[in-house]
């Protein structure tokens, strides 16, 4: 049922499910209105065979006007919204539009029992740029296709979401590889030309996803993949795909799960240097903690914090910086610390 953003503002049943024809009519009416405000306006393609629809979800980008602060109010005015919920941290705003008498009559002819007034919820997600707009259309298009492709990537420790493709680099922030839909899909071995052709059946979507060079049906037999992401919970198409995959023979072309895919992705997207630098920085921090920390220096010298700082600063200066200490044996570092203490007459 649509209208969840306004459940406390309107009577129950105010936001009916829409039959496909009315949904398409409303989408066609609203799109040109939003195009007076944003250059890029589209609804991600729906899953094939859907019998009815709730909200209409637009993704937009590139506002024609400069000031974004007034855009939410301007959108409400252009759409004729009777109520709106301002843009949140996810850059999504919700609008309640009253349906026309003709729309209500069409609903009645489809078996709905309209109350005095009926409404449509329109959700508008504002993307930062054209690349994010393209990626959001892919990730939210054709039902759970985006979640399925993300699941295939996750089998190889690659994380795909609405902000792009990334790899984890704990405890540091993840390293983003790309937010270009075309570049990501090309790397995954999926044809964007085929995606743009559209799908008329759910199985066509499954076949498309299975053409990824990272897909191996054996990995979708693992129970933990059913809780791959929070967004996969309750996703019927995603779970249908896992069941469909179980009937396929093992892939002969797929990379084995392991570090190979991450390594290949880092090189492919030119992020190997960043990854190696982050790994080296982590190793240096760990080395310092275990070999040249204030706690260790205090234990070795018996000094208070001022004396410890003085010794550590002088040790660093004597060798040309802490990086020059990195990798030395613990005993060598200890001897250097004690020698520095004696030289400072502490």
Where do the domains of the chain lie? 20-127, 135-269, 292-344
Averaged over 54-66, what is the pLDDT? 90
Q: Is 276 exposed, middle or buried (0-12, 13-18, 19+ CB in 10 A)?
A: exposed
Q: Residue 125 is encoded by which pair of tokens?
A: 């997600």
Structural contact between residues 38 and 135, judged by C-beta atoms closer than 8 angstroms: no
The pLDDT value recorded for residue 110 is 63
Give the mean pLDDT of the chain. Answer: 88
The pLDDT value recorded for residue 187 is 96
Give residue 221's pLDDT band: very low, low, confident or very high (50, 70, 90): low
The pLDDT value recorded for residue 229 is 45
In this prediction the pTM is 0.86
What is the β-pairing status of strands 92-98 and 119-126?
antiparallel
Place of tokens 């008329």: 200
Kindly report the CATH number that applies to the domain delimited by 20-127.
3.30.460.10
220 pLDDT above the threshold of 80 = no
* Whole-Å CA distances, 35 to 30, 68, 84, 187, 275: 9, 15, 19, 32, 41
199 pLDDT above the threshold of 90 = yes
The pLDDT value recorded for residue 225 is 43
For the packed helices 330-343 and 272-291, what is the interaxial angle rounded to 10 degrees? 60
Averaged over 16-34, what is the pLDDT? 94
What is Dmax (Cα atoms) for the chain?
Answer: 96
Q: How far apart are CA 125 and CA 60, in angstroms?
A: 6
- Sheet of 119-126: strand order equals 38-42, 56-63, 119-126, 92-98, 83-85
114 pLDDT above the threshold of 60 = no
Percent of the chain's residues with pLDDT above 90: 67
90 pLDDT above the threshold of 70 = no
241 pLDDT above the threshold of 50 = yes
Give residue 254's pLDDT band: very low, low, confident or very high (50, 70, 90): low
For the packed helices 145-154 and 236-246, what is the interaxial angle rounded to 10 degrees? 50
- Report the range out of 1-15, 256-270, 328-342 with the highest average pLDDT: 328-342
Averaged over 172-186, what is the pLDDT? 96
Averaged over 281-288, what is the pLDDT? 94
79 pLDDT above the threshold of 80 = yes
- The beta strand positions in 149-301, using DSSP E, are 159-161, 164-169, 172-178
Q: What is the pLDDT of residues 289-299, one digit of tens each?
A: 999 999 999 99
């Amino acid at each position: 049922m649509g209208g969840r953003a306004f459940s406390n503002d309107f009577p129950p049943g105010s936001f009916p499910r829409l039959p496909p024809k009315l949904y398409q009519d409303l989408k066609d009416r609203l799109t040109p209105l939003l195009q007076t405000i944003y250059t890029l306006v589209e609804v991600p393609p729906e899953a094939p065979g859907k019998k009815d629809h709730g909200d209409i979800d637009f993704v937009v980008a590139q506002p024609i006007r400069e000031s974004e602060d007034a855009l939410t109010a301007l959108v409400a005015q252009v759409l004729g919204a009777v109520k709106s919920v301002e843009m949140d941290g996810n850059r999504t705003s919700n609008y309640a539009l009253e349906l026309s008498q003709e729309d209500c009559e069409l609903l009645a002819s489809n078996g709905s029992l309209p109350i005095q007034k009926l409404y449509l919820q329109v959700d508008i997600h504002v993307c930062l740029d054209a690349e994010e707009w393209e990626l959001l259309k892919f990730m939210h298009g054709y039902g759970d296709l985006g979640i399925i492709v993300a699941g295939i990537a996750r089998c190889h420790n690659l994380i795909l979401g609405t902000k792009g493709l990334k790899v984890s680099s704990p405890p540091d922030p993840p390293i983003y590889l790309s937010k270009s839909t075309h570049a990501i899909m090309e790397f995954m071995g999926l044809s964007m030309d085929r995606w743009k052709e559209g799908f008329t059946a759910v199985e066509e979507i499954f076949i498309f996803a299975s053409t990824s060079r990272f897909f191996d049906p054996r990995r979708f037999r693992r129970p933990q993949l059913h809780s791959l992401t929070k967004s996969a919970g309750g996703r019927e198409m995603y779970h249908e795909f896992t069941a469909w995959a179980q009937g396929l023979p093992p892939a002969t072309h797929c990379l084995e799960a392991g570090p190979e895919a991450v390594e290949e992705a880092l090189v492919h997207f030119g992020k190997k240097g960043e990854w190696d630098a982050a790994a080296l920085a982590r190793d240096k921090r760990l080395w310092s903690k275990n070999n040249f920390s204030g706690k260790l220096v205090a234990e070795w010298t018996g000094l208070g914090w001022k004396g410890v700082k003085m010794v550590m600063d002088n040790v660093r200066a004597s060798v040309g910086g802490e990086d020059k200490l990195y990798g030395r044996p613990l005993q060598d570092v200890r001897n250097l610390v004690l020698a520095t203490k004696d030289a400072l007459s502490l």
